[in-house]
Amino acid sequence: MASLALYTYFRSSAAYRVRIALNLKGLTAKQVPVHLLRDGGEQLKPDYLALNPQGQLPTLAVEDADGRHLLTQSLAIVEYLDEVHPTPALLPADPIARAQARAVALAIACDIHPINNLRVQKYLKGEMGVDEERAGRWVRHWMETGLAAVEAMVKPHAGRFCFGDTPGLADLTLVPQMFNARRFNADLSACPTLLAIDRACLALPAFADAAPDRQADAPPAA
């Protein structure tokens, strides 16, 4: 079996997704912390850029008989894990349901998360001169409108989880975004289905153990 190393940061939403996927698959990866704030951001240092030219997290290093392979982009990594370790499956068997689950994951990972992440906030507050209050409004607006749309996408299919009673790709993408929404005090009153799914997910060890405050690089609780 290949050995895995995950370059991660405790509060990175994208790394959080991959940590959940690894746990759901029962896989162990060596955790390699990359601090997004220290010394201007360790993800921007030459050593890390040699692994991931985008300077983003996560990166999954896979070592097998053919050598060392570097995988980037969280959803690509998750689908790699699902293809190589197909049980338990992270996508529904039905092609229509698979496409719908991917759509939910992409709505979060491509439409909500990128315009609210650390580098966007730094640019808003730095180069654009946006003050803290207005930057917070920016974050909450896109989270609230985006998650309200995801609520409508998920509601027709939801059981205990986004697509029935087994957690999968949509759920492992949703939970980190719900963590972010709470962190920025977003109004989630329009998302009762998502809130219920988030609670169900966090009751599972695979999700709970991947949470930011349980990571080795998380700062000690105050």
The reported pLDDT for the residue numbered 222 is 43
Domain endpoint, select from 54, 87, 120 = 87
Tell me what the mean pLDDT of segment 146-160 comes to.
Answer: 97
pLDDT digits (tens, 9 = 90+) for 72-108: 999 999 999 999 999 999 999 999 999 999 999 999 9
Contact partners, residue 42, CB within 8 Å, separation at least 6: 34, 35, 36, 48
Answer with the one of 87, 116, 142 that is the final residue of a domain. 87
Q: Which of 8, 27, 115, 167 is nearest to 72 (CA)?
A: 8
Instruction: Tell me the chain's radius of gyration from C-alpha atoms.
Output: 17
Answer whether 220's CB lies under 8 Å from 38's CB.
Answer: no
Q: What is the CATH number of the domain that holds 108?
A: 1.20.1050.10
Mean pLDDT of 62-70: 96
Q: What's the CA gap between 154 and 174, in Å, rounded?
A: 11
Distance of CA 60 to the CA centre of its chain: 14
Q: Does any domain span residue 83?
A: yes
Question: Domain count of the chain?
Answer: 2
CATH code of the domain covering residue 79:
3.40.30.10
Predicted confidence at residue 135, as pLDDT, reads 87
3-state secondary structure the chain: CCEEEEEECCCCHHHHHHHHHHHHHCCCCEEEECCCCHHHCHHHCHHHHCCCCCCCCCEEEEEECCEEEEEECHHHHHHHHHHHCCCCCCCCCCHHHHHHHHHHHHHHHHHHCHHHCHHHHHHHHCCCCCCHHHHHHHHHHHHHHHHHHHHHHHCCCECCECCECCCCHHHHHHHHHHHHHHHCCCCCCCCHHHHHHHHHHHCCHHHHCCCHHHCCCCCCCC
Tokens read off for 4: 């895995």
The pLDDT-based confidence of 213 (bands split at 50, 70, 90) is very high
Residue 109 belongs to domain spanning: 95-207
The Cα–Cα gap between 115 and 141 comes to 11
The reported pLDDT for the residue numbered 158 is: 96
Q: Are residues 66 and 141 in the same domain?
A: no
The verdict on residue 221 lying in a domain is no
pLDDT in the model for residue 132: 87
Residue that finishes a domain, picked among 87, 106, 132 = 87
